Structure 1
Amino acid sequence: MIRKLNRIIQDYLRRIRLKVGRAIFDKKREKNIGLIKENKLDMSRIKSILFLRYDGKIGDMVITTLLFREIKKNYPDLKIGVLARGAAKDIIKFNSYVDKVYSYEKGKEKSIGSEIASHKYDVLVDFSEVLRVNQMKLINLCKCRINIGLDKSDWKLFHISYKKNKAEHISYMYQNILKLFQIKNPELNYNIYSDIEIQDKVKKIVSNIKGDIIILNPYAASKHRSFNIEKIIEISNKVLKDEKNALIFIGEKSKKLEIESIKKALQNSKVYYPELNGILEVAELVSYAKHIITPDTSVVHIAVAKNIPLTAVYRLDTGDNNSIVWGPKSKQAKQIFSTSIFEAGEEADINKFNVEEIVL
């Protein structure tokens, strides 16, 4: 009851903060009408684009790589900058379609905005469904000539607004963004690149593994979307039932003790938990897999980028169509669903699914 009341209070205060923030920062910008024709950009006059991906979400950044590639293919001399944070920065660390990566830190909007403003970007593209106050401030500080935002047609801060269709995959929203840049019929696949050091390390790890590699990623960003120990063991036993398979666990170092205890319980020499440092080493390992099993998380989109067959486990949608919008866009992917449903005050349990639906 106290938790629910606190949530109500915080939601109310958040709305007040956003309303005040918008009153301060939703300022009318110079229209730069000459850069826009029929709600699209005059690309003969556009020399640089800044993408704001300050949410730190790895999977979102993986999908966004299609924008960088398609823009560079069509406009090779155009400069692309990306503002990112956390491990999401690593996804584009070796991406040749990105010219400049800026690091985002909350509370340092002034210094970040000043740096970006000094580089005089023509166009800014923001992906936020709900703009926080610090993000409103940052967009103003960047001083880009044209600001483009998601469902921001009623904002003064944005010159062009694009829409998100919750009935189709998110990549089609990015296709609509590309139309603003006069790009038609783009390829919608994703790219993840690494360097020779990462490739050699993972190749060495794989050389010591006997059998067809099946990767199990039990964990998502939320504990409510992660597999519990009982489910992990059940999935593992299904994988190991076929003697040709080798089971590899991936998971953050904070999960090491749990994974090691599961390995011990399985009592099978073909179970591995390699020491990986960073998301690019995970992505490189994924490229060697015969199959991936993962809950709704960034590994879904990494597997799609690497064109690896996968089973993605989702909770039943509760009106947001998450499994459609953010699901795996691959013919080699299968989605299976928990039968648990959201109830007032309680999260749905992702572990309520039938392991026999996993087909390797």
Structure 2
Amino acid sequence: MNFRELNRKKNIYLRRLKAKAGKCLFDFKNKNRFTPSKLKTFKKVLFLRNDNKIGDMIVSTMAFRELKKQLPNSEICVLAGPASAKVIENNRSVSRIFICRNKFSDILKTGLKLRKEHFDLYIDMDMGNTFLTHLLMFLIKPRFAFGFNKDKFKAYNITCGLDFDANHITAWHAAAFKALRLQKPEARYDLFVPNSLKKEIQKFLSKLPTAKGFIAVNAFASSKHRCLSALQIRQTAQSLPQYNFILIGPNEQAERLKEASACKNVFTAPKGDIFISFAVTAVTDLLITPDTCFVHAAAALGKKQICIYKESDKPNQKIWVPISSHTEVIQAPDEFSALPAEEIIKAALKALS
């Protein structure tokens, strides 16, 4: 067992220990009893999504839309991280966004603030509780609280069992809606990219050398082991010279990758936040990515894509595979940079045909 694996196991153990402490300290008795008739009385709903994961937020937009549709008299509020909050700034189904970092001081301050809102329903989609989520629940004290596999928690008065590894992420939302006695949500994500931003990107693309089309490439993922290399980008671009490749993702990393790839039909997107990357995805012909954030963005935008998953991690792939018929899936070794470029080229030709 290497150091990285030992360190991971140590961190998991400490998180579990802290979570148990949080349950002992903050798990309060919620005496309210939920019945379907009480749905009509809900005025404020708070959806917990403060993990700051952008891909998860995109997936959750299906729940925001369906909650607003089925509870039209309720404010649909979202507790979000700073980065993920940007994804729903233009979302018509979300009434208010509360930004909170997953830190003790932020949780304490935000929890006390949200307690004054008197939320009727608190929806927690996480797989498990942490010390901070126990504290947050204790501070907010919602009228009703939903969570998965929460039979042993007194603060949650709506729950259902779920095997997370056996179900796609959209099935998690469907199970939550069923437990809340709501109609099954439509498995479709919402991502609203301003038209002004799309026009800006189209203007940028029009100034590039004439090409048959454009391929967006996000080479970066949360782990360095799941990132694509400059060599893979160069070989793919050289094999498809009729297309211009637009590198999206973190500005500085994309620029360094372009320089390293040294290919005349590879360009970087204009600098800006993640919505620049979403706008590029929206107006190009194909997206290539190893990151589930962009996988779900492409699905929301109805774009063709090639998504790259770790072959040894089939459970994760089952949960996060995109809900799109315009998808080519590539199985990669643990080090994505070892994936032969021929596999990407083959998938691209198939997707573009």
TM-score by length of 2: 0.89
Q: Secondary structure at the match of 2:112?
A: helix
CA distance in 1, matches of 2:11, 2:67: 40
CA distance in 1, matches of 2:180, 2:126: 19
Q: Where does residue 53 of structure 1 map in the other structure?
A: 49
Q: Where does residue 327 of structure 1 map in the other structure?
A: 321
Give, as a single letter, the amino acid of the residue that structure 2 aligns with 1:289: T
Gaps of 5+ in 2: none
Aligned residues of 1:317 and 1:323 also touching (Cα < 8 A): no
Q: Where does residue 65 of structure 1 map in the other structure?
A: 61
CA distance in 2, matches of 1:186, 1:15: 32
Give, as a single letter, the amino acid of the residue that structure 2 aligns with 1:261: E
Q: How do 1:299-338 and structure 2 match up within 5 A?
A: 299-318=294-313, 321-338=315-332
- 1:282/1:6 Cα in 2 relative to 1: closer, same or farther (>3 Å)? closer
- 1:134/1:193 Cα in 2 relative to 1: closer, same or farther (>3 Å)? same
Q: Secondary structure at the match of 2:245?
A: strand
Q: Secondary structure at the match of 1:183?
A: coil
Q: 1:8 deviation in Å?
A: 4.3
Does 1:298 find its partner at 2:299?
Answer: no
Q: Which structure: greater helix fraction?
A: 2
1:168-205 Cα offsets, whole Å, 9 max, x none, are 32112112222234332432111111335434422322
Q: Where does residue 273 of structure 1 map in the other structure?
A: 268
Aligned residues of 1:239 and 1:247 also touching (Cα < 8 A): no
- 1:215/1:252 Cα in 2 relative to 1: closer, same or farther (>3 Å)? same
Aligned residues of 1:123 and 1:144 also touching (Cα < 8 A): yes
Q: How do 1:1-360 and structure 2 match up within 5 A?
A: 3-29=4-30, 31-33=31-33, 36-37=34-35, 42-105=38-101, 106=103, 107-162=105-160, 163-209=162-208, 210-211=210-211, 212-240=213-241, 243=242, 245-263=243-261, 265-266=262-263, 268=264, 270-318=265-313, 321-338=315-332, 340=333, 348-353=334-339, 354-358=343-347, 359=350, 360=352
CA distance in 2, matches of 1:161, 1:259: 46
Q: Secondary structure at the match of 2:299?
A: helix
Q: 1:27 deviation in Å?
A: 2.1
CA distance in 2, matches of 1:334, 1:2: 35
Q: Secondary structure at the match of 1:287?
A: helix
TM-score by length of 1: 0.88
- 1:108/1:257 Cα in 2 relative to 1: closer, same or farther (>3 Å)? same
Q: 1:3 deviation in Å?
A: 4.9
Q: 1:41 deviation in Å?
A: 6.7
CA distance in 1, matches of 2:12, 2:280: 41
Between the aligned residues of both structures, percent identity stands at 27
1:48-85 Cα offsets, whole Å, 9 max, x none, are 21001011111110010011111212222211000001
